[in-house]
Amino acid sequence: MIERKFSAKREEIFNLLHSVENHPGAKWVYEQLKPKIPDLSLATVYRNMNFFCVEGKASSLGVINGEERFDGITEPHPHMVCSCCGAVVDIPLTTTDTLIEDCKKISLETSFTIDFRKTVFYGLCRKCHENRGKGTEGDPDAA
């Protein structure tokens, strides 16, 4: 594969995506970069985020709370997603050894070759769980 040189905007989007752990959507990336790059458009951010996914430089986590979210880490790893506020957290591979071994076992038992995996667990983050009894789930100003 030929390595392409990034434009200045693409480079900024790429660097931001790979410097954060919050699994951002294009809108968040746009809001962070707009003050620094006044002529940046939301469409440019979307186009570049999708370009990174096609090129294998990022991955899409799918739509979470109405917005496609992205990850700068391309190696397979599981995520936890808050069903209430949409927070996304990486699960370290060291804590998923049993899950990986179970997948290998299932693959052998079913003669099904697994080419890739995308594991997502859904539940409540600590903040939403704590707010559950207060009636403030999903309210970013409640904490």
Q: Is residue 79's pLDDT more than 70?
A: yes
* Angle CA 60–74–51, to nearest 5: 55
Place of tokens 């076992």: 105
Question: What is the predicted pLDDT for the residue at 84?
Answer: 94
Range of the domain at 142: 76-143
Q: Is residue 7's pLDDT more than 60?
A: yes
Same domain, 3 and 63: yes
Total domains present in the chain: 2
Average pLDDT, whole number, for the chain?
A: 87
Same domain, 19 and 33: yes
pTM for the whole structure? 0.78
CATH of the domain at 57: 1.10.10.10
